[in-house]
Structure 1
Amino acid sequence: MKFVTFRTPGDPTPRLGIDNRDNHSYTDLTGRFPDDPDFASMLSLIDGGQAALDKAWAAYTTLDEAHLVEKRTVSLLAPFRPRRLRDVSLIVNHLRPSVAKTAQWIAANTDDPRTVAEIMAAVDPLVSPLYEPTAPPSAAERDAETVSAPGSVLTWPGRSDWLDYELELCAVIGRSGSDIDPSVAGDHIFGYAVYNDWTLRDVQARNIAGSGSVHGDSKDFLNGNSFGPCVVTKDEIPDFRDLEMTVRVNGRVWGQGSTSEMLHGFDDAVVSLSRGHEIVAGEVWGTGTVPDGSSFELGKRLPRPAFVELEIERIGVLSHYVVPEL
């Protein structure tokens, strides 16, 4: 099943919907079952576990025309505000070209006296894979309050000259737990979505050159984290490591890749990140950027304005209009 969060014209109330796969309608689960707490929001659905999914499946297979809404008439919202948002770096092949570009930018745009090779040597350990067996819950976390809606307008912060997208798959955690056994790790995954980890590259490079912080305010800015446009339940994607991924900017393909680049699976991350720590239902975990999944690696800059589309096979297209800050 594919779940969305939307609002209808004239009603600001977020509603949980299910895609009817007819290319034009959603079922308004919140409106159809107003007294069912499992359908109050997508987080409520996730918290409801398998029983809630069974009820949603029954609704999907027995349509009620009174609670169908036309896709073209609604506005999609972020699926939900994650209880924790972090990047667990299951795809890391993009790091080497990213390090090189960062070192080149620092050498060309700051008064750093080091050579590019010297800067690369210093930067390399700072951006090493964040996937660690003993990584604490705070590793690579993002500010969940910065999540933006699919199809919305993203304002390019005036403090940056290089806004960049990052094409990632993300997993939604569906069950809390700690010290999780590998045999049941997959049971803790609710589903998947497209994730855009927007990044201010020049701010990131200055942070690295100065404080040594890899991310800081280069990633957590207003609406700077995006995921959606829907959440697809895990049963719909039996092999999450075999999905084609594409970036388009103003209608032109800027990058293509595949989740086959993943060095580890989400189930591996569940085992490692729950070791001695609790993972929580409602977390969202990004894979890290697929190679050629960011303009920085390609040496290209987004135009202003720009229409950026990230597409992952079997999930959908996450799009945003990017406009400069006035």
Structure 2
Amino acid sequence: MKFVTFHRPGDPKARLGLDNNDDETYTDLTARFPDDPAFASMLALIDAGDRGLDAAWHAYQRLDGSALVARDAVTLLPPFTPRRMRDCGLMVSHLRQSMSRTARWLTTHTDDERSYGTFYEQMDGAFRALYDPSTPVQFAERNPQTVSAPHAVLEWPAESEHLDYELELAAVIGKGGSRIAAADAEDHIFGYTVYNDWTLRDVQARNVLGGGDAHGDAKDFPQSNSFGPCVVTRDEIGDPHDLRMTVRVNGEVWGEGSSSQMIHTFPQAVEDISAREEIVAGEVWGTGTVRNGSSFEIGRRLPRPAFVELEIEKIGILSQYVVPAP
């Protein structure tokens, strides 16, 4: 099943919706089950576990006309505000391309006298452990308060000349716990979604130059963490480690890849991370960027304005407009 969050015309209340798979309608689950707290929000559904999913499946099989809404009559919202966001190092093959571009940018856009090779070696040393599949899964925190909606208009931050997208698959944690075995990990995954890890490349490069990390304010800025347009339950995805992934900018394909590039699986990530700390339901975990899944690494720059579409097989298209700041 595919779940969305939306509001209806003239009603700002966020509602949980179910995609009826007819390309025309959603079922407004909040209206269909007004007295059931499991359908008050996506997080409530996740917390309800199998009971909520069973009721949603019943609604999917037996449509109620009074709860149907036209897809083109509603406004999609972020699926939910995650209780925690982690960008994990499950895909790392794009890093060397990105580091090479960053090293080149630093040698041509700053007064630092260090060479391209010196910059590259420093960054490669910092990330080298990520390339080893035997290394425990690493992750960087993201700010859940910066999520943005599918189809939203994203304002290009004035402090940056190089805004970039990053195409990632993401898992939604459905059940918390500690020290979870990989063999049991799938029971802790609610579903999957498309994640765009928007990044300010020039800010990121300057942070690296100043001895900082590659994340921080280069990643977390208003509306910088978008995911959606839906959350798809894991049973509908099947194997999440072999999905086609595509980026289009203004209708032109700018990158293609596959989740088969992952060097760690989601079950491995659940096992590794839960061994170090408790995980909770309602977390969102990105995989890291698929190779050629950002404009920076392929030597291109987003135009202003731009319409960016990130598509993952079996999930859908996460699209957003990027416009210049006033």
TM range (shorter): over 0.9
SS at match of 1:275: helix
Output the amino acid matched with 1:73.
Answer: A
1:134–1:275 contact (8 Å) kept in structure 2: no
Task: Supply the distance in 2 between the matched residues of 1:134 and 1:42 (Cα, whole angstroms).
Answer: 27
User: After superposition, where does 1:259-278 map in structure 2 within 5 Å?
Assistant: 259-278=259-278
Amino acid at match of 2:119: I
- Cα pair 1:31 1:67 within 8 Å, conserved: yes
The AA in structure 2 aligned to 1:133 is: P
Q: Which runs of 5+ in 1 are unaligned?
A: none
Root-mean-square deviation over aligned CA pairs: 1.2
Partners of 2:35 and 2:250 lie apart in 1 by 43
> 2: distance between equivalents of 1:249 and 1:305?
10
- Note if contact 1:185-1:270 (Cα within 8 Å) is conserved in structure 2: yes
Is the 1:99–1:127 contact (alpha carbons within 8 Å) kept by the matching residues of 2? Answer: no
Query: C-alpha offsets along residues 2-26 of structure 1, whole Å, 9 cap, x if unaligned?
Result: 0000000100000000000011000
| Contact kept in structure 1, 2:164 and 2:296, CA below 8 Å | yes
Q: Deviations over 1:253-285 (max 9, x none)?
A: 000001110111111000000003101100000
The equivalent of 1:90 in structure 2 is 90
- Which ranges in structure 2 are unaligned for 5 or more consecutive residues? none
The CA deviation at 1:212 is: 2.4
* Deviation of 1:124 (Å): 1.6
Which whole-Å deviations, capped at 9, do the CAs of 1:232-273 have from their partners, x for residues lacking one? 000001111111111000000000001110111111000000
**Could you tell me which of 118, 132, 136 is aligned with 1:133?**
136
Name the CA distance, whole Å, in 1 between partners of 2:221 and 2:136: 29
Cα separation, 2, equivalents of 1:47 and 1:223: 25
Kindly indicate whether the alpha-carbon contact (under 8 Å) linking 2:156 and 2:325 is maintained by their aligned counterparts in 1.
Answer: yes
Moved more, 104-113 or 10-19: 104-113
Query: 1:89-147, CA deviations, whole angstroms, 9 ceiling, x for partnerless residues?
Result: 11100011111001001111111111000111111233443995375xxx401000000
Q: Tell me which amino acid in the other structure corresponds to 1:283.
A: E
Tell me which residue corresponds to 2:279. 279
Q: Structure 1: which 4+ aligned runs deviate by more than 3 Å? A: none
Secondary structure at 2:275 match in 1: coil
Equivalent position of 1:209 in the other structure: 209
1:161-193: CA deviation from partner (whole Å, max 9, x where unpaired): 000000010000000000112221111100000
Equivalent residues of 1:91, 1:262 under 8 A apart: yes
Mapped to 2, the partners of 1:10 and 1:125 lie a distance apart of: 54
**Which residues in structure 2 correspond to 1:200-239 (within 5 Å)?**
200-239=200-239
Q: How many residues align?
A: 323
Question: Are the equivalent residues in 1 in contact too, given 2:170–2:193 (CA < 8 A)?
Answer: yes
Offset at 1:321?
A: 0.3
Q: How far apart, CA to CA, are the structure 2 residues paired with 1:7 and 1:223?
A: 18
Name the residue aligned to 2:146.
Answer: 146
For 1:101, the aligned partner's letter is: R
Farther off after superposition, 156-165 or 211-220:
211-220
In structure 2, C-alpha distance between the alignment counterparts of 1:110 and 1:127, rounded to whole Å: 23
Corresponding residue SS for 1:150: coil
Q: Secondary structure at the match of 2:293?
A: coil
Q: Tell me the distance in 1 between the aligned counterparts of 2:276 and 2:258.
A: 32
Aligned to 2:300: 300
Q: Quick check: 2:200–2:218 contact (8 Å CA) kept in 1?
A: yes
Q: Normalising by the residue count of structure 1, what TM-score does the alignment of the two structures yield?
A: 0.97
- Alignment of 1:109 onto 2:109: yes
User: What secondary structure sits across from 1:253 in the alignment?
Assistant: strand
Q: What are the residue-to-residue correspondences of 1:128-207 with 2, within 5 Å?
A: 128=128, 129=130, 133=136, 139-207=139-207
TM-score normalised per structure 2: 0.97
Q: Percent identity?
A: 62
Question: Equivalent residue for 1:30?
Answer: 30
1:291 aligned residue: 291
Q: Distance in 1 between matches of 2:276 and 2:91?
A: 24
What is the distance in 1 between the residues matched to 2:145 and 2:190?
A: 21
8 Å Cα contact 2:9-2:73 kept in structure 1: yes
Which amino acid counterpart does residue 242 of structure 1 have in structure 2?
Answer: D
